[in-house]
Amino acid sequence: MYVRRTLPHRNRSFVGAWCFVDHYGPDEIDPQTDPETGGGMDLPPHPHTGLQTVSWLFEGELEHRDSGGAAGLIRPGEVNLMTSGAGIAHSEVTTSGTTRLHGVQLWVALPDSARATRRDFQHHAPAEIELRGVGSARVFVGELAGIDRSPVRTFTPLLGAEVTLHPGAAVALAVDTAYEHGVLLDTGEVSVEDVPIAPGDLACVDAGPERLRLRAGAAGARLLLLGGEPFEEEIVMWWNFVGRSHDEIVAYRQGWEAGSIRFGTVKGYAGPVARIPAPPLPAVRLRPRGRRGPAGADGPVVTDEVAAVAEA
């Protein structure tokens, strides 16, 4: 599976508390390519700390299981949000009826005050809201332009929405002036504040403007709009862990490898291996990362993809 990773990036570490954006597909799934797994995604149990995962699909279907006891399906247009708290493990597997897989995996960094919160899992199917003749939106986290609010709970003020624009449509979305925003283009063509971006790009705009101007090209556009109040804490993010220091990450890795109760047990997963082992740590101390410099007067910062091939 080919994964486009736009956050974290050398130009920017966060959009609000959003700290990780993986964008994948569309991938055709042919059961004949791998008789054992049927192709698609098969992620055995793996750990997380200090974050919330947000799963959003455009096509296909995934089965989610976690050590908090949650088990359910991830479907297009329905958000699944998992809170790791101090530690959790989960698996994600393509369902047998899926022939195309296309979506995003997003992470939200938990503030220090919430890092020890309990494990949690939330599911929400947002309604499709019309945008006055120019397109539509589904708000899966936070509130957008006063038109809809998601009941999903987060620990910092955030926005997450799928926006579809008709061909040639232009819109100036009312946004929270305290939020910085990121626009991830999935399909079609769009300009963000008159800056055109390509599919897979993430355009980032600092806090301040009352409106965010989007203009679709001749093919229309489908995009994700992410936003949130600037996240002022520094984090250390390595593999599947978010912590505050190198030593914390070392302890998380050792705990996962030792089968610590911190992460619990995922019940019901029946894949080819019982768990994903942690990779070796690099031979250097991991350094914290914080917010990068502002976009500046010349317009939004555009982060191009950092490609990664994930073998599931």
Give residue-wise pLDDT tens across range 269-288.
Answer: 998 899 999 999 999 999 99
Query: For residue 108, which of 78, 138, 141 has the smallest C-alpha distance?
Result: 141
Percent of the chain with pLDDT over 90: 83
Positions in the chain whose pLDDT score sits under 50: 35, 37-38, 293-298, 306-312
Give residue-wise pLDDT tens across range 248-270.
Answer: 999 999 999 999 999 999 999 99
* pTM of the full structure: 0.92
Give residue-wise pLDDT tens across range 83-119.
Answer: 999 999 999 999 989 999 999 999 999 999 999 999 9
State residue 196 phi and psi, 5-degree precision: -70, 140
pLDDT of res. 300: 64
CATH classification number, 2-231+288-309, choose in 2.60.120.10, 1.10.287.130, 3.40.50.261, 3.90.740.10: 2.60.120.10
pLDDT of res. 36: 52
Compute the distance between CA of residue 142 and CA of residue 139 in angstroms, rounded to an integer: 7
- Angle 267-273-279 from CA coordinates, rounded to 5°: 105
